[in-house]
Amino acid sequence: MAARYRSLLHGDADRLRAHTKPGVWSPLEYACHYRDVLRVQLERVRRAVREEKPTFAPMRRDERVTEERYNEQEPEHVAFDIAAAAGALASALDHLSPKSWEREGLYNYPTQQLRSIEWIARNTIHEGVHHILDIERLVGLRRA
């Protein structure tokens, strides 16, 4: 997926920063969000391996958009960061023992629920695909 993000993030930076629908992130903001999902999920996997059923803090996704100025970041840097974060997460998952995939942590969003590392990995892929589709719709490559 990192290659697809890279291709979507090349081009007109103004178009990637545009808010074309009220209350909807820009394409660049979606990409920054996914980069941070990868980073947060890596830390959650590491904690689940180290600790017995850790509690995961919410990632504060909406607050990060403003606090970290997602829309002011350089698209090509974000694309690079997505690739690096995806590689780091993939490497961590590659090194898990079969039993480690079952280890769990407590998610607090949207409700409290124990989630396995396997679920974390699957959900991270789902989020990546979902946000590619969001970006493609916003830049006109896909219909709603």
20 contact partners, CB below 8 Å, separation of at least 6: 26, 138
Average pLDDT (20-30) is: 95
Predicted confidence band of residue 11 (pLDDT cuts 50, 70, 90): confident
Q: pLDDT-based confidence at 109, cuts 50/70/90?
A: confident
Amino acid 141: pLDDT: 82
For residues 61-90, average pLDDT: 97
Residues 82-105: b if buried by 16+ CB within 10 A, e if exposed: bbebbeebeebbeebeeeebebbb
Nearest to 21 by CA among 130, 142, 134: 134
Give the containing element (helix H, strand E) for 113.
Answer: strand 113-116
Distance (Å, whole) CA 141 – CA 144: 10
Residue type, 68: E
The per-residue DSSP string of 50-80 comes to HSSSPBPPP--HHHHHHHTTGGGS-HHHHHH
The rounded distance, in Å, linking the Cα atoms of 17 and 72 is 8
Q: What is the mean pLDDT of residues 66-85?
A: 98
Q: Which domains does the chain have, with CATH numbers?
A: 2-138 (1.20.120.450)
> What pLDDT, on the 0 to 100 scale, is given for residue 144?
62
User: CB under 8 Å to 94, separation ≥6 — which residues?
Assistant: none
Are 49 and 103 within 8 A, CB to CB? yes
What is the pTM for the complete model shown?
0.95
